[in-house]
Amino acid sequence: MKKFLLTSSCVAVAALANAQTTGPSSSETPYLVPVANGVKITSILTVGDEVNGYKMAGTPDGMGAFDNGDGTFTLLMNHEFGNTAGTVRAHGSTGSFVSKWIIKKDVNDLKVLNGSDLMQRVKLWESNKYNTYYSSNPSTNAAFARFCSADLAAVSAYYNSKTGKGTMDRIFTDGEESGTEGRPMGHIVTGPEAGTSYELTYLAKMAYENVVACPYEQDKTIVGLTDDGTGGQVYFYIGEKKSSGNTIEKAGLTGGKVYGVAVSGYASESNGNLPVSDTTFTLVDMGTTVGINGSAFNTSSVNAGVTSFLRPEDGCWDPRNPNIFYFVTTNSFSSPSRLWKLEFADITDPAKGGKINAVMDGTEGQKMMDNITIDNWGHLLIVEDVGNNAHIGRILQYSIAGDSMNVLAEHDNTRFLSGGANYLTQDEECSGIFDAQHILGSGWFLAVDQAHYSKGGELVEGGQLIAVFNPASANANPEISIEGNSTNIPAGANNPQTSDNTDFGTTATGTTVTKTFELKNAGPADLMIDTIMVAGANANEFAASGITFPATIAANSSKTLTVKFAPTAVGLRKADITVSSNDFDESKFNFTVQGVGLNPADVENTSLSQFVKLYPNPTRDMATVAINLNEPKTVSVTVVSMNGKLVAATIQQQLGAGEQKVNVSTADLPNGNYFVVISAGEEITKIQLV
């Protein structure tokens, strides 16, 4: 591990004016200021700010978000209160809770539109069954203590599209950092059980920092568990997804077992001792933890040889390699805080274990690392919890490729350094940071700030929600685009056009038509093409070639994809092409292609032709195809030139029995002679049109 001296300097007022923005819903300027060139920070909401009668409460912590598809996104936010702090929330109790916010996803207008409590009903495991509590049936047991970090895992963490097992409903996970009896929770965000919070009793009790699900798509559900206590451990829950049951049952969050990380020859982490590089670790089977209290579980872990670490904090899975899980240990202000990497031998069989490395050994200058996240290009963003020490807490960036670290941002010293003009407290803590590039665009992250000074009442303590732009992440992103005939094809395009080569026109069965497409990279980093797949009803009639995988497309460069259409039957033929790449928000770029197969002898089907009429003929702006069907059929109508070239988009309709009509626009066609090709099921005919 290289040694790096972390330095931060005073930032000029003029530079800050361009790098700091107060959002339209925030009453305060950002609590953090940029340090690295190009970093930008926007305050979105400050504790006490009110949106439609709902106030942002204090001590914000773990978060997650998803795009609503309508120009807004949903943000979920933990509030790390003691179990008696604050006011009674929607689920009927005081203490920690999860708030839900609807925010505009324009980084130039991050207006907060609505706020509410996510938790409406709580299901707690008591006396070997779930008991449900809510506002009119409250319980002191549903008063939670100190929800810390959190995880809104990708859909693939809980759903396997290949087998259909699991659930596509979103689940927000966290846990109580309240000593050995802390409970893990799964809050259902979407679907029929939205607003229900389950105690995840199969995940064991401990002083939870986070509950982080592996996004790798498979029938196994794997969840990293970090125990934030002195001598705390790191665990992994392993369960199996199901096709039926309630949301957490389908997600695979019941019925599994917990395994503890045991590092070979390293029973416990110490300040002066590290395992050698690539030391192996095994997963110790702790069995089923239902009904076992946290103290007994911890004792069993120690007796079983599970390694104790110096306060494991947050963790994250590497999106580039599903076998890798990173976590940090915070330790103490005067002792080494470390970044650890666990690399599983095989994430499809995690019980095999793997190897561990301390990629940051604690001598690099960081203090009490806490929350972490990772982008798609090997940048870990890490925040410090200064623990009420006279040290300005920072957002750090660790580059995996360069084995280097730099400071991105730090707290405003006028607010968080004793004697400052706007002094609030020296006990500040940035937290909850996560990669929001899939929502806000390249380089953007979301985080919160905890300002540990009393606000009283429902607010409890200070804090703020912020957006952070990291240029290193932005500059590492490629940007895929695909063109046909020099015309851009939008991602997800499913209406083939002649203008962009996605409509191949007509060709006789047994012959071929070839079109080319340009795969372009408009981003600053290399675009890696992993695969190009052809799927759909007629996939065997379209073949993609010209690119060898894996393929690299440099910035501002392109590669040519060739697609050949070889119809094996008459009528409209369709397929979907999917380009898989490392573009972070368009990793699966898909578009539809089509063509029409004709009889090789170009002979009309007389049994169909006698039931088809075309009028008026000659025509000006509109012609009508009248067809009499003896049963419901899929009918395609295509206009081609006299030499067979497609001149208008194919019309395809599902028509019922009897006489049916299809209108064909001819307004844009030059004067001349054309053929109208009509197919109904496997029958085809053509009529000359003037």
Say how far residue 142 (Cα) sits from the centre of its chain.
30
Secondary structure of 253-297 as H, E, C letters? CCCCEEEEEEECCECECECCECCCCCEEEEEEECCCCCCCCHHHH
pLDDT over 50 (residue 60): yes
In this structure, the chain runs to a length of 690
Which residues of the chain are in CATH 2.120.10.30 domains?
A: 13-474
Give residue 509's pLDDT.
85
Q: Which two tokens stand for residue 33?
A: 């200021």
pLDDT over 80 (residue 610): no
With contact defined as beta carbons under 8 Å apart, do 94 and 83 qualify?
yes
Q: Which CATH architecture is the domain 606-689 placed in? A: Sandwich (2.60)
Determine if the peptide bond prior to 550 is cis (ω within 30°). Answer: yes
- Residue 300: Cβ-neighbour burial (10 angstroms; 0-12, 13-18, 19+): middle
With contact defined as beta carbons under 8 Å apart, do 609 and 684 qualify?
no
Spatial distance between the Cα atoms of 675 and 677, rounded to a whole number of angstroms: 6
User: Edge-to-edge strands of the sheet including 571-581?
Assistant: 503-508, 588-598, 571-581, 527-535, 551-553
Provide mean pLDDT across the span 180-199.
Answer: 98
Provide mean pLDDT across the span 658-671.
Answer: 90
Which whole-number Å values give the CA distances from 432 to 209, 407, 435, 689, in the listed order? 11, 17, 10, 66
Give residue 10's pLDDT.
42
pLDDT over 80 (residue 386): yes
Q: What is the pLDDT of residues 104-156, one digit of tens each?
A: 999 999 999 999 999 999 999 999 999 999 999 999 999 999 999 999 999 99
pTM of the model: 0.81
Q: What is the pLDDT of residues 275-294, one digit of tens each?
A: 999 999 999 999 999 999 99
Spatial distance between the Cα atoms of 216 and 198, rounded to a whole number of angstroms: 23
The CATH code belonging to domain 13-474 is 2.120.10.30
Spatial distance between the Cα atoms of 234 and 308, rounded to a whole number of angstroms: 8
Spatial distance between the Cα atoms of 52 and 25, rounded to a whole number of angstroms: 11
- CA-nearest of 111, 230, 110, 212 to 171 is 212
CA atoms within 13 A on the CB side of 347: 22
Secondary structure of 597-638 as H, E, C letters? EECCCCCCCHHHHCCEEEECCCCCCEEEEEEEECCCEEEEEE
pLDDT over 70 (residue 3): no
User: What phi and psi, each to the nearest 5 degrees, are found at residue 478?
Assistant: -80, 170
Spatial distance between the Cα atoms of 250 and 240, rounded to a whole number of angstroms: 8
With contact defined as beta carbons under 8 Å apart, do 525 and 480 qualify?
no
pLDDT over 60 (residue 4): no
**Angular region, 396: left φ>0, alpha ψ -120 to 50, beta rest:** beta
Give residue 16's pLDDT.
53
pLDDT over 90 (residue 677): no
Spatial distance between the Cα atoms of 73 and 152, rounded to a whole number of angstroms: 13
Q: What sign for the dihedral angle of Cα 432, 433, 435, 439? A: positive
Band (pLDDT 50/70/90 cuts) for residue 380 is: very high
Q: What is the pLDDT of residues 390-440, one digit of tens each?
A: 899 999 999 999 999 999 999 999 999 999 999 999 999 999 999 999 999
Which residues of the chain are in CATH 2.60.40.1930 domains?
A: 606-689
Which residues of the chain are in CATH 2.60.40.10 domains?
A: 480-598
Q: Residue 569 corresponds to which amino acid?
A: A
Give residue 9's pLDDT.
41
Own/partner contacts of 384-390, CB < 8 Å, gap of 24 or more, are 384/429, 384/430, 385/330, 385/429, 385/431, 386/333, 386/426, 386/427, 386/428, 386/429, 387/332, 387/333, 387/427, 388/426, 388/427, 388/452, 389/333, 389/426, 390/417, 390/418, 390/426
Beta bridge partners of 156: none
Spatial distance between the Cα atoms of 322 and 235, rounded to a whole number of angstroms: 17
Give residue 104's pLDDT.
99
User: What phi and psi, each to the nearest 5 degrees, are found at residue 295?
Assistant: -65, -45
Provide mean pLDDT across the span 241-266.
Answer: 98
Compute the mean pLDDT over every residue in the chain, rounded to the nearest whole number.
Answer: 93
Give residue 600's pLDDT.
66
Give residue 571's pLDDT.
87
Q: Which residue has the higher pLDDT, 293 or 678?
A: 293
Other beta carbons less than 10 A from residue 546's beta carbon: 14
The CATH code belonging to domain 480-598 is 2.60.40.10
Beta bridge partners of 469: 40, 444
User: Edge-to-edge strands of the sheet including 112-117?
Assistant: 60-67, 72-79, 97-104, 112-117
**Percentage with pLDDT > 90 across the chain:** 80
